[in-house]
Amino acid sequence: MSDSLKINNLFECNVPYLKDFFNNFEFPWEMLPYIKDYIKELLKSNLDGFTEISQGVLVGENVKIHPSAVIEAPAIIGANTEIRPGAFIRGNVITGKGCVIGNSTELKNSILLDGVQIPHYNYVGDSVLGNNAHMGAGAVCSNLKSDKKEITIHANPPIKTGIRKI
């Protein structure tokens, strides 16, 4: 399989509470079905510097959450992250520090490493975004093929992922 698609070649994970999780997988799509369970483990571990603001939702220090934002459990939001008006976090989301989840942005079953900005009118589902990634206005990480069949990565050779959403 293509080494360029391996996690250690795509991402430098500096998020302390994600390093072990990343080390359990070879390719990024392999971790997607396990995000929810991993968050539940982290919730039991009493992460230092985090506060539980509602059942199953931990936020780090200096997180700004607009009153119109919705965060569904389970979720872990890293320090110094800003969640802007109308943002909708549908659960199974982990962010690193210093992220921006913007106006009318929707997230589900995703990991954002440090400094990710998805500032306005975005959808990110079943995805892993690397350090300092920035999505332009209205950009979408569509996560389901229109034929709803298994996703195949078009590498040399092709890689069957075993999942329908990525």
| Strand blocks (E) in 78-142 | 82-83, 88-89, 93-95, 100-103, 106-108, 110-112, 117-120, 123-125, 128-129, 140-141
Residues labelled as active-site residues? 120
pLDDT in tens, 128-137: 999 999 999 9
Taken in order of first residue, the domains within the chain and their CATH numbers are 3-160 (2.160.10.10)
Q: What pTM was computed for the model?
A: 0.90
> Per-10-residue mean pLDDT for the chain, 166 residues long?
82 94 93 96 93 97 98 98 98 98 97 97 94 93 70 72 66
Phi, psi of 115 (to 5 degrees): 75, 10
Helices (H) and strands (E) in the chain, counts: 3, 17
Report the relative pairing of strands 57-59 and 51-54 from DSSP bridges. Answer: antiparallel
Q: What is the pLDDT of residue 149?
A: 74
pLDDT in tens, 18-40: 999 999 999 898 999 999 999 99
